[in-house]
Amino acid sequence: MKAITGLLLMFAAAAFAGPSQEYWVASWTNAQPLIQQPLPPPPPPAPPGTPRQGPDPVTLSYNAHGFHDQTVRMIVHTSIGGRRLRIRLSNPFGAAPVMVGSAHVAIHVAGSRIDPATDRTVHFDGKAGSLIGPGMVILSDPVDFAVPVQGDVAVSLYLPGESGPPSAHNGLHTTYINSAGDDSAAAEIAGAQTTPMYYWLVGLDVPAHPATELIVALGDSITEGWRSSYDANSSWPAVLSARLSAHKNTARFAVANMGIGGNRLLHDGNGASALARFDRDVLGQPGVRWMSLLEGINDIGRGDTEPVTAQQLIDADRQLIDRAHEHGIKVLGCTLPPYEGARYYREEDESKRQALNAWIRSGGAFDAVVDFDAATRDPEHPARLRPDFDPGDHLHLNDAGYRAMAESVELSLFVK
C-alpha cells in the first residue's frame, strides 16, 4: 500500500510540475480602447496613389459594426522568441459574446501571405473554437511553434456568426479581411480588404527562462506610435525592443506596447484612463517586471473642458507607482515631450507640463527616469519639437523622433 501511495504521489507531483508550470511571458501585446457608440459608416476608399500617413478617426472605425462569416488575419511583431506560443483573446467592452470558429498561427511572409509549412491550428481547451463572453480574456492551448525573435507572426481568426461591434485597436500594422468563409488556414487571402486594426487579439505569449522580464509601456498615442510608418515597427517601444534584443545582456527583456491614442491619466476617453486600466493592461501581462509611464499630455491638452492641475497629475502618477511597487514592478518615469503648436496647445497650460516633468526628473518617486523632453525638444525653441522630428501636427513624432526617444533610454537600467 505504501508503494502504491508513493507512486500516486509521484505521478501527482509530476502532473503538477507539467506544462501549467511554464513561465509565460508576453512577446507581443495590444491594448484595447473603449468601443465608441454611435459608429459612423465606413469611409470611401482613398484614391490610388494617396500617401498613407495614418488614417483619420473615421477610418479607424472601419468594420466597427463587426463581422459575419469572415476571416481576419492580423500580423504581430514579436519581441522575444520561443519554442511554443499561446494567444490571448479578449472582449473587454463588448456587450455580447463573440464566437471564434477557428484560429491559426503561421509565419508571415508578405501581404496576406503566410508560410504554409508553419501553419498551426490553435485550440481552446482542446476545441477548435471558443466563445469570448463580455469582459472575458481567453487563453488558447499552447501550440508548438518556432516563434522568431523580432519577427512577424500571422494570427487568423474565423468569425462564423454576427460578431457585433468588435474590441479593436489601431496597431499600425495591416490586417487582412476576406469577404466570406473560413480562410484562417489559407496561404493567402485573395482580394482582402485591409485595415490597420487588431480585433479581439490582445496577446501572444511564449514560455521563457524565469530570468526573462517584460517591460510594459503604458501610455497614449506617443507610446502607441501615432504618425510613425505603418508596418515598420517604428514606435519607440518597438525600437527599444530591437535594441534590447541586439545586446546579450538585455536580450532577455520583452517589450509590450500598451499605448492607446488619446489616453489620459484621470479621465476615460479613447480608452479607459490609465488609473482604470492599470490592472488589465499592466498587471494582466504575464512576466511583467517593469512599467514605463508616459501619460498626461492629453489631460493637459483637454484642460479647457476637463481641467486638471499639475498636482493632480503627480498624484495620479504616485498612485500608479505605488500600485506597481505592490506587485514588485519597477517603474520608469518618462518626461512629456513638448507640444507647442499642437491643435489643443494653450500657452497657459505649458507650466503644467513643466511642473510634471520637473517632478518626474527630481521627485525620487520612480525607479529610473528617461528624459524624452530633452531628447525631442528644439534647442532653439524648447516648447516645440525638433523640426526634423515633427511630422506636422507638433504633438506626435516621425520615425526619426521615435528612434531618438528609444535611443535615449539607457540599456544599463535593465542590467542587474
Q: Are residues 258 and 374 in the same domain?
A: yes
Angle 244-382-357 from CA coordinates, rounded to 5°: 60
SS3 content of the chain, % helix, strand, coil (to 5): 25, 30, 45
- Answer yes or no: is 37 within a domain: no
Q: Are residues 71 and 111 in the same domain?
A: yes
Q: Are residues 170 and 230 in the same domain?
A: no
Residue type at 80 in one-letter notation: I
In contact, 266 and 273? CB cutoff 8 Å: yes
CA 60 remoteness from chain centre: 16
Q: Are residues 385 and 299 in the same domain?
A: yes
Q: Are residues 294 and 377 in the same domain?
A: yes
d(CA 197, CA 111): 15
User: What cell was used for 409?
Assistant: 533610454
Alpha helices in 258-309 (DSSP H): 274-278, 297-301
Q: Are residues 182 and 230 in the same domain?
A: no
What one-character DSSP code corresponds to residue 121? E
Backbone angles phi, psi at 36, to 5 degrees: -95, 135
Instruction: Give the three-state DSSP class for 278.
Output: helix
Q: Are residues 171 and 216 in the same domain?
A: no
Counted domains in the chain = 2
Q: Which domain holds residue 390?
A: 209-414
Q: What is the pLDDT along the chain (416 residues), one digit of tens a residue?
A: 444 334 333 333 333 334 458 999 999 999 999 765 444 444 444 455 544 444 333 334 446 678 999 999 999 999 999 999 999 999 998 889 999 999 999 999 999 999 999 999 999 999 999 999 999 999 999 999 999 999 999 999 999 999 988 988 988 999 999 999 999 999 999 999 999 999 999 999 999 999 999 999 999 999 999 999 999 999 999 999 999 999 999 999 999 999 999 999 999 988 899 999 999 999 999 999 999 999 999 999 998 899 999 999 999 999 999 999 999 999 999 999 999 999 999 999 999 999 999 999 999 999 999 999 999 999 999 999 999 999 999 999 999 999 999 999 999 999 87
- Answer yes or no: is 271 within a domain: yes
Write the CATH number for 402: 3.40.50.1110
> Which residues are CB-contacts of 393 (< 8 A; sequence separation ≥ 6)?
227, 342, 343
Q: What is the pLDDT of residue 269?
A: 84
Question: Beta strand pairing status for 82-90 and 137-139?
Answer: antiparallel
Q: Which of 204, 238, 258 is the last residue of a domain?
A: 204
Q: Are residues 182 and 95 in the same domain?
A: yes
What one-character DSSP code corresponds to residue 269? B
d(CA 282, CA 256): 9
Q: Which of 204, 224, 251 is the last residue of a domain?
A: 204
Question: Beta strand pairing status for 98-100 and 130-132?
Answer: antiparallel
* E-strand stretches of 265-364: 288-294, 330-334
Q: Are residues 270 and 397 in the same domain?
A: yes
> Which residues are CB-contacts of 33 (< 8 A; sequence separation ≥ 6)?
169, 260, 261, 262, 263, 270, 271, 272
* E-strand stretches of 91-212: 98-100, 102-110, 113-114, 120-122, 130-132, 137-139, 143-147, 152-159, 168-177, 193-199, 201-207
Residue 299: exposure state from Cβ atoms within 10 A (0-12, 13-18, ≥19): buried
In contact, 356 and 364? CB cutoff 8 Å: no
Q: Are residues 168 and 284 in the same domain?
A: no
The full DSSP string for 2-55 is HHHHHHHHHHHHHHHTSGGG--EEEEEE----PPPSSPPPPPPPPPTT---S--
> Which residues are CB-contacts of 52 (< 8 A; sequence separation ≥ 6)?
46, 230
pTM of the model: 0.90
Q: What is the pLDDT of residue 94?
A: 85
Q: What is the pLDDT of residue 48?
A: 53
d(CA 147, CA 205): 10
- Answer yes or no: is 171 within a domain: yes
Q: Which of 204, 225, 243 is the last residue of a domain?
A: 204
d(CA 219, CA 264): 8
CA neighbours within 13 Å on the CB side: how many for 3? 0
Does the N-terminal peptide bond of residue 38 adopt cis geometry, omega within 30 degrees of 0?
yes
The owner of cell 508548438 is 144
User: 236 - beta bridge partners?
Assistant: none
In contact, 116 and 156? CB cutoff 8 Å: no
Residue type at 278 in one-letter notation: F
- Answer yes or no: is 3 within a domain: no
Q: Are residues 378 and 293 in the same domain?
A: yes
d(CA 97, CA 133): 4
Q: Are residues 192 and 214 in the same domain?
A: no
User: What cell was used for 318?
Assistant: 504616485
- Answer yes or no: is 232 within a domain: yes
